[in-house]
Chains A and B, each alone.
Chain A
Amino acid sequence: MEWDSGNAAWMLTSASLVLLMTPGLALFYGGMSRAKSVLNMMMMSFGAMGVVGVVYVLWGWSMSYAPDASVGGIFANPFAQFGLSGAIFDETGEFIEGLGAYPQVIDIAFQVTFAIITVALISGALAERVKFSAWLVFTAIWVTLSYFPMAHMVWGGGLLSGAEGSIAAGIFGTTDGEANTAPIDFAGGTVVHINAGIAALVLALIIGKRKGFGTVPMRPHNLTLTMLGAGLLWFGWFGFNAGSAFAADGVAGWAWVNTTTATAAAMLGWLVVEKLRDGHATSLGAASGIVAGLVAVTPAAGSINPVGAIFLGAISGVCCAFAVSLKYKFGFDDSLDVVGVHLVGGLVGTVLIGFLAVDGSVFFSEGAFGFGGFDQLIIQVVIAVVALIFSGVITWVIAAFIKAVMGWRVSDDVESAGIDLAEHGESAYEGITAGRLIKEGN
């Protein structure tokens, strides 16, 4: 087998870029938390890297992509390729081919990084109050019961794909085994952002608010970290979106351009809202607008034109800028606005594809501005709603289970004093101390 080394090189690079997003997210979230809890905030991202990095190899890939092992179109048999057996080499000992004429093991590398960042995204809703052990247990269960099935449903030929037996095939019929109108989720609007966003909302409701939420100031302690994190997220997102072309080709370049265009427009959209509403265009607003744009363009990166990306980005920036204040109206503590940015941004991007996709959408069904192709819009709304319900219910059950079995929250005293010292035995920044070394090493 002659492998396409250009594709292979790009996809290994993409996998590495996506992996970099999670430490970037740790900086983004860490800067927004308070100084006394920043290490715990970062450790939740790193903890997700640890747990998911192991679980994915054991049964994650199998549940998402094992061939001919689908259970009702919802997930694949976790034991079909347990431990990646039969997923790397074929019977003759040759590498199995992946999506882009390179060994499939590169696809595995790419996909594990998506699972890691998706779980880590959720942690922003849980800042400064959750036991680290409860978070790690949640990570293992949630990625198994919510992420892997969602990846199978959308990308693995399951219910939310365009394959035979999918919801889209049921609504619109099939031609040659493919739905006549297939849902579009290029790089994870449903699997990553709606999935993580609704999970964040459910967890924030079940776990409850931080002590003093709404009265005690909970300002970001270091916006330079947040800006650095947002920059790393943008950089890593090129692997996320352009890598989802599974080739070093024109589609990858197209996704790259749309990703940057939408993100730039979203940042401007968020800043305009802030300037008009609050009087200042803030650095936190720029960082937040960047993430909102990246989120919204994720499902759309390979199906809209660059002018469409400007619309999509600007709309998502404006919507998310308004959405983040909803938590105060409804009184739930989504601490770092995972719902306002990822759920709302994910929904905006997923649904706007129905208007902006260059082939078959409302505006582009019969040439430019044809106004008539509502099928794409319908199926985009359907997959968004199914993703919301599926992930919402699963997350609710897992969260209630953990609450009953081990409890989510640290004690009130620990929460007040800051979670870093109690949970990790460390503090991020040194003040005046009178400590001394009592033991060298162990």
Chain B
Amino acid sequence: MKLVTGIIQPHRLDDVKAALEAAGIRGMTVSEASGYGRQRGHTEVYRGAEYTVDLVPKVRIEVLVDSETASTVTDVIVQAAQTGKIGDGKVWVVPVEDVARVRTGEHGAGAL
């Protein structure tokens, strides 16, 4: 089993969600995140005073899938989230040892 995590631009979330659904992926977890990559943040000006905003808003999506599907999920997210501009985000995959469904208590692939 694998956990695919994507940090994407907030305004791409709907497209990513639709693309994953179209690809037959049935679940995802979404949370608000903030951070910066190579581009750092941006500046904002309030009444002439300039502030650097390093941590820019992002959305974090997490999808738990079996090992064979992970690369498909990664590709779907990349494709749907891409704008070509700086700050589009990252997607990574990590191995998952076990998973349990809270409702039934079952473990492993059957709980996905």
Contacts and interface: CB of A to CB of B under 8 A. Distances in A.
Interface residues of B, number: 10
Contact of B51 (A217, A324, A340): A217
Interface in A323-346: 324-325, 328, 337, 340
Interface stretch (B13-21, B42-50, B86-94): B42-50
Nearest to B48: A325
A282 B49 contact: no
A279 B50 CA distance: 12
B5 to A, nearest CB: 20
Interface in B15-71: 44-53
B48 A277 contact: yes
B49 A328 contact: yes
Contacts of A337: 47
Instruction: Describe B's contact surface by its main secondary structure.
Output: strand
Contacts of B51: 217, 219
B44 A219 contact: yes
Contacts of B45: 274, 278-280, 282
Interface in A269-284: 274, 277-280, 282, 284
Interface string A284-324: 11001000000000000000000000000000000001101
Contacts of A325: 47-49
Contacts of B46: 219-220, 282, 284
Contact of A324 (B47, B50, B53): B47
B47 A284 contact: yes
A324 B44 contact: no
Interface string A215-237: 00101100000000000000000
Contact of B48 (A217, A220, A278): A278
Contacts of A277: 48
Contacts of B49: 325, 328
B48 A321 contact: yes
When A and B form their complex, which 3 residue pairs have the shortest distance between CB atoms, in order from nearest? A278-B45, A325-B48, A324-B47
Interface of B: 44-53
Interface of A: 217, 219-220, 274, 277-280, 282, 284-285, 288, 321-322, 324-325, 328, 337, 340
Given A219-B46, A274-B45, A278-B50, 8 more contacts: A217-B51, A219-B51, A220-B46, A277-B48, A280-B45, A282-B45, A284-B47, A321-B47
